[in-house]
Structure 1
Amino acid sequence: MPQKIMTNTLEKWINHYIKTEEPRSKSLIISVFGDAISPYSEGIWLSELIQLMSVFGINERLVRTSAFRLSDEGWLTSRKEGRRSFYSLTPAGTRRFESAYKHIYQSYHIDWDGQWTLVVLQKNLEATTERTELRKELEWNGFTLLSNGVFLHPLASLDTARQIVERNGYQELALIFRASSIEDSDGFSNMPKIRASWNLDEVNQRYQKFVADFKPALALLNSNDLSALSAFQLQTLMIHSFRRANLHDPQLPNQLLPADWPHADAFNLCKTIYNITCQRAHAFIAELTHIDTQSNSGNRLNIAVKDRFNQP
C-alpha cells in the first residue's frame, strides 16, 4: 500500500516507512551485506553490524539472533577473535549475491529466439534435501517448475543450467535440453499455459507497491541537504524493497509478459535515487565500521559499485 500519512521531510518519511513496513531484521541484514559490505570487504565485526542495524530500530538481540540464523542457513560464516565475532559470506552466499546483483543492478531488454531451456530429473527420484536445494537454486535463477521434475526457462543458457545441476550433485540424474514449442495459426499454443507457471501477478503487485512507496521519497530528496545517515537508511530500505520484488521476477522476454509490465518504472526510480544516495550512504559505512569505502573501488563481487545502475 502507498504511504498513508503525508510527510514533509525525508527523515520523517524514513521513520514512518520503518514503522509501517517493519522490515525483518534477517532480510534487512542481507540487504546491507549485499549493497554496502560485501563489495568492499570480506565481512564485518558483529559489533559494527549491530551499530549499523540500530539506525533501523533493530536491537542487539535481534541482530545476534539473525546473524546466527543466517549462518545456519548457509549465507554467512563467522570466526572468533577473542570475544569478538567476524561475519563474512560463505561461498554459497557469494554465488547467491552475484546472481542477485545481475537482477538488481542491471536493467534488462531481452531478445528471445523462441526456445526453452529445460532441466528434467529422471523419474522415481526421492525428494531428498539435495533435490530441494536444486529446486531452490533453479527457481532463484528464474526457472519454473512446469511439472514434477521438469524445470523450464526461456533464456537461461545450457551452461548456466549445467552449473546449477553440477553444484547440487545431480549431473548423473538430470537431463538438460534447449528445445522449441508448438505455436501455430490453428489455435494450438503453449505460451499461455507456460506463462501461467510463473506467478507474475504477485511480482507485478510488488513492483507497483515499490513505485508507490518510494516516489514520495524521491520528491523529498534534496542532494544538497542529504546526511550520510539518511542516505544510508533510504538506500538500504529502497534496495531491500526493490530486491523483494526483483528477485521474484523471472526476467522473461516481452512475449511472455503482460502489457505495461512495471519493471522499467521501478528500475528507473531505483536508479534515480541510488545515483543520489550511493556515495553518502557508503561513506556512512566507513564512519561506523573498519570498512574503507573511499579508496576501495567496491569491486570484490561481479558488478562493481561504480557500475551499478549505470552510475555517472
Structure 2
Amino acid sequence: MPKNNTDNTLEEWVEHYIKTEEPRSKSLIISVFGDAISPYSEGIWLGELIQLMEAFDINERLVRTNAFRLSDEGWLTSQKQGRRSFYSLTQSGTRRFESAYKHIYQSYNIDWDGQWTLVILQKNFEATTERTELRKELEWNGFSLLSNGVFLHPLASLDTARQIVERNGYQDLALIFRARSIEDSDDFSNKQKIRDSWNLGEVKERYLKFIADFKPASKLLKKSKLTPQLAFQLQTLMIHSFRRANLHDPLLPNELLPHDWPHNEAFELCKSVYHVTCEQAHRYVRETTTIDTRSNSGDRLNIAVKDRFK
C-alpha cells in the first residue's frame, strides 16, 4: 500500500505502518507510558500494559521482557502484589519524561542573547558510570559535547545546568559558565564550528521522514470515523515517531539553524492530529485499563495533557 494513497482507510494506513516500520517494542512502551499513562497514574499493572500493547501487534512475551529491561535500565520500577506486577516510573525516569515533555509538547520561538552555557569537568578525572550518566542527562537536555569534558548549549539556563550537575553528584568537580564567543568574521566562524558539533543532518532527515509518513494519515483522519482504539494507535505511533526526531533536536535558536529547518512543519502536523485524537485515545486507555483518564487534567507531571501543543 503506497504511503501517499489517500484512497485507503486510516485503519489500513495504521496496519501498513506497523507492518512496514516495525516500531521497537521497548521504545514504543516508553511512548505509551509518556503519552497516555504517566500524566494520569503512577503506573500500570503489567497485564493492562500487555492489553494496551496488543493494539500494535506486540505480544505478551515481548511486553514482559521489555518491562523487565526498562526496569534494569532505570526507567521503571516494579512492585509485586501476589502474582501481579505494577510498573511505575523511577525518579530518574520521571526527570527524563518531564524533560521530554518540554521538547515534544511545547512550541518554541527563541530570542537568543548570543551567549553559551558551558559545563566543564575538571581534567584528569577518570570516566565512571556516574560521569556517563551525567553526559546522558546533559545531552538529553540538548547540550553538545564540544570536546572532552566540555558541554555547551546556547539556551539552557545556569540553573538547569546546576541542577543536572548536582543530581549526578558533580558539584565539586564541574565549572558552569554563561559566556560569549567572539563575533564571526570572514576568517573565523564560531557558529558554524559549534553547530557542527550537533548532528543536525540526522535530525533533519528524521523530521522529514515523520512529515512524509504522517501527512497521508492526517488527510485520512479528516474523512475517517475515529474509534478510541484507532485514535490510540495513530496518536501513539505519531508521538513515537515525532519524539525520535524531536528528542535529538537541541532546539537551537534560529541563528544557528539551517534556513530550511523542518521542525515547525513537523510540530504543526503533530499538533493538528493530536487535537483530533487525544480525547478518544485516552478514552481507549480508560476503557482498557483501570486508569481513569477523566479523574484530572492529566497533570501529574510538569505539562498537563490539556496544555499540550498549545
Please, what TM-score do these two structures have when normalized by structure 2?
0.97
Q: CA deviation at 1:222?
A: 3.5
Q: CA deviation at 1:294?
A: 1.8
Please tell me whether residue 144 in structure 1 is matched to residue 154 in structure 2.
no
Q: CA deviation at 1:5?
A: 6.6
Q: CA deviation at 1:260?
A: 1.4
SS of equivalent residue, structure 1 residue 309: coil
Distance 1:6 1:133 in 2: 45
Give the conservation status (yes or no) of the 8 Å contact 2:119–2:161.
yes
| 1:145-189 Cα distance to aligned partner (Å, 9 max, x none) | 001110010000000001001111111000001100011445322
Please tell me whether residue 262 in structure 1 is matched to residue 248 in structure 2.
no
* Correspondence 1:1-312 to 2 at 5 A: 3=3, 8-185=8-185, 187-222=187-222, 225-310=225-310
Amino acid at match of 1:24: R
Amino acid at match of 2:156: A
| 1:4-36 Cα distance to aligned partner (Å, 9 max, x none) | 776610000000000000001100000000000
SS of equivalent residue, structure 2 residue 179: strand
- Matched length: 309
SS of equivalent residue, structure 1 residue 156: coil
Distance 1:125 1:184 in 2: 33
Distance 2:57 2:185 in 1: 58
Distance 2:240 2:7 in 1: 21
Give the conservation status (yes or no) of the 8 Å contact 1:144–1:153.
yes
| 1:107-133 Cα distance to aligned partner (Å, 9 max, x none) | 111100000000001000101111110
| 1:77-101 Cα distance to aligned partner (Å, 9 max, x none) | 0000000000000010000000000
Give the conservation status (yes or no) of the 8 Å contact 1:182–1:188.
no
SS of equivalent residue, structure 1 residue 85: strand
SS of equivalent residue, structure 1 residue 55: helix
Give the conservation status (yes or no) of the 8 Å contact 2:6–2:219.
no
| 1:232-267 Cα distance to aligned partner (Å, 9 max, x none) | 000000000000000000000001000111000000
Distance 1:242 1:81 in 2: 36
Distance 2:3 2:275 in 1: 23
Give the conservation status (yes or no) of the 8 Å contact 1:223–1:276.
no
| 1:196-227 Cα distance to aligned partner (Å, 9 max, x none) | 00000000000000000000001100477110
Amino acid at match of 1:96: R
Amino acid at match of 2:143: F
Distance 2:272 2:263 in 1: 14
Q: CA deviation at 1:293?
A: 0.8
Give the conservation status (yes or no) of the 8 Å contact 2:6–2:216.
no
Q: CA deviation at 1:72?
A: 0.3
User: RMSD over aligned Cα, in angstroms?
Assistant: 1.3
Give the conservation status (yes or no) of the 8 Å contact 1:138–1:164.
yes
Q: CA deviation at 1:296?
A: 2.1
SS of equivalent residue, structure 2 residue 214: helix
Please list every run of at least 4 consecutive aligned residues from structure 1 whose deviation after the TM superposition is greater than 6 angstroms.
none
SS of equivalent residue, structure 2 residue 206: helix
Distance 1:140 1:89 in 2: 17
Distance 2:297 2:223 in 1: 22
Please, what TM-score do these two structures have when normalized by structure 1?
0.97
